[in-house]
A = this chain, B = another copy of it.
Amino acid sequence: MILETIHQPADVKRLDGQQLNSLAHEMREALLVRLSKHGGHFGPNLGMVEATIALHYVFDSPKDKLVFDVSHQSYPHKMLTGRKDAYLYEEHYDDVSGYSNPHESEHDHFIIGHTSTSVSLACGLAKARDLKGEAGNVIAVIGDGSLSGGEALEGLDFASELHSNLIVVVNDNDMSIAENHGGLYGNLKLLRETKGQAECNLFRAMGLEYRYVHAGNDISALIAVFQEVKDCTSPVVVHINTQKGKGYAPAEQHKENWHYCSPFDLATGKPLDGSHEEDYSTVTAQYLLAKMKEDPTVVAITSGTPAVLGFTEEKRKEAGSQFVDVGIAEETAVALASGIAVNGGKPVYGVYSTFIQRTFDQLSQDLCINKSPATIVTFAGSVYGMNDVTHLGIYDIPMMANIPNLVYLAPTTKEEYLAMLEWSLKQTEYPVAIRLPGGAMVSDGRTIDKDFGKLNQYQVIQEGSKVAVIGLGTFYELGCKAAQVMEQKWGIHPTIINPHYITGVDEALLDELKIEHTVVITLEDGILDGGFGEKIARFYGDSEVKVLNFGLKKEFLDRYDVQEVLKQNHLTPQQIAEDVAKCL
């Protein structure tokens, strides 16, 4: 086995053409086995095997520096840079993260997990190299789907200003996570069809030189071009045409489904965990499709992740022009929603908590200053969400909830969520965001008759005394459990409150609590700094009421165990009850 002998990129350089092809075959086999058992980004990695071999054959990493955009296609790179065991042996699978990571290897230069950042980051590496008067190549590898993101386009535009070495490999497999959206993909198609010869060329229009490789999965063709551009003295784009999911028939055919995979049966391609339970995504699609039929101005918006809204290919067809995928372009998604709302439409933008981060200024300027009545639904904003350091959903409250005019709501159940969505689509006064709870969806069949237009009215679920528990979103349940412990252990019957609103304080209710309560606790599924609980602490600052804020520490967690993190942050019912008892 050749792969077994690859301990560093230099080992690739020693191989002849036939051996390089064998290596590609072995790598693909290893990837398939690992992905079938472990899950991970599938299509992008299978497509980049040959290009990665060619890159390491030609360039001298780490002196030459490779930056992989979003890292969805960095597995082959890891296999060739001393981390093969994590792809060959099940007991080592978890030795590496799913993203590039300098703590793992000197061949990685950044922790990267969001799209569209590679070109600008690579420009920085190149600029420092030039300031230091050093030599070496800097290579950004970016998939076509990432090109539509603002930071990527900014970076491509800026790159020519370097006037020195920078190589941007555009991995064009004609797909984003789902199909590509945006006018530039027409240009990529034209370039593919003309074998790179078309005069109209996005990259040249950005001031960059350009090379095209039709056979993007042919190692020798790739090596030839990389050798040509090596040590170039001005930025050049190498546009390679690869096949997403190459080497696994189901993935070649169903590219969207195989962008990422959970563990699956290698023989049949069927997922091992075949559960199709109702979740917030399916509920959202179901609700919106029904609404779209009632009202032609209801429109669902995604920025390249239609699945989060529950809009499968079939449902997108059903929605027709009432479903818009802007491609990976979150800023435009928010601005588009604002524009639609200002002109009388009813937009709903569904987005992961970690990606709404890409739109702070659009939320503030395009949406909230204009008080545009658009709806945003944030998914996986929770410690129970994705747990890679680049994909955490625990920062959206400080980011969003301190923007004036925004009404940010926190449902605790499916029924509350749908009632909030219903209200938000009807009203025309506020930009509204809804933060879906993490973990399994709770559905209790309760009818919700609350008027969410009466802003910042919290709901008292249980009247008690001494202690008041304000449990926000996901952590409402945790608050109830902590209250039970207090009751059982110390006979305290706490008041339990579901605040619903993240963006405002129910001053009348909080004032009232002062009469019968000595301790008020808050619980939120996110970091404490800048969050919900601190607003309550500020409110009670001049009073006798003691306030305990429960939530997560401000830090970047990575691949954590939820139960452990909860424990470390005093977030078990038992710990919460004990902390309260100390204050009484």
Contact = CB atoms under 8 A, between A and B. Distances in A.
Contacts of A132: 296-297, 343-345
A546 interface: yes
A520 to B, nearest CB: 9
Interface stretch (A88-96, A117-125, A468-476): A117-125
A141 interface: no
A433 interface: no
A135 interface: no
A201 interface: yes
Interface stretch (A31-39, A170-178, A275-283, A533-541): A533-541
B128 A402 contact: no
A206 B205 CA distance: 10
A370 interface: yes
Contacts of A247: none
A202 B208 CA distance: 12
Interface in A311-336: 321-322, 324, 326-327, 329, 331-332, 335-336
Interface in A101-143: 102, 109-114, 117, 120-133
A120 B336 CA distance: 6
Interface stretch (A152-160, A221-229, A416-424): A152-160
A361 B530 contact: no
A187 interface: yes
Name the residue among A113, A148, A322, A345 with the largest chain B CB count within 10 angstroms.
A345
A523 to B, nearest CB: 13
A207 interface: yes
Contacts of A271: none
Interface string A163-204: 000000000000000000111111100000000000111101
B529 A369 contact: no
A554 B185 CA distance: 42
Contacts of A199: 199-200
Nearest to A110: B370
Contacts of A121: 335-336, 338-339, 342, 366
A158 B336 CA distance: 10
A377 interface: no
Given A123-B332, A202-B205, A404-B554, A362 B117 contact: yes
A124 B335 contact: yes
A529 B401 CA distance: 8
A547 to B, nearest CB: 4
Interface string A369-403: 11000000000000000000110000100110111
A510 to B, nearest CB: 14
Contacts of A370: 102, 110-111
B332 A120 contact: yes
A287 interface: no
A367 B125 CA distance: 13
A360 interface: yes
B111 A369 contact: yes
A343 B296 contact: no
A347 B195 CA distance: 40
A556 interface: yes
B402 A332 contact: no
Nearest to A558: B369
B549 A538 contact: yes
Nearest to A202: B205
A527 B538 CA distance: 13
A370 B124 CA distance: 13
Contacts of A148: 154, 157-158
A150 interface: yes
B157 A154 contact: no
Contacts of A338: 110, 121, 124
8 shortest interchain CB distances as A-B pairs: A124-B339, A150-B150, A183-B207, A120-B335, A128-B343, A199-B199, A402-B530, A160-B183
Interface of A: 65, 102, 109-114, 117, 120-133, 148-151, 153-161, 181-187, 199-202, 204-208, 296-297, 299, 321-322, 324, 326-327, 329, 331-332, 335-345, 347, 357-362, 364-366, 368-370, 389-390, 395, 398-399, 401-405, 527-531, 533-535, 537-538, 540-543, 546-549, 554-556, 582-583
Given A158-B182, A530-B530, 5 more contacts: A110-B366, A124-B340, A127-B345, A128-B341, A187-B204
18 contacts: A123-B332, A123-B335, A124-B338, A124-B342, A127-B324, A128-B340, A128-B341, A132-B296, A133-B296, A148-B157, A149-B150, A154-B326, A154-B329, A155-B332, A187-B204, A200-B205, A398-B530, A534-B538
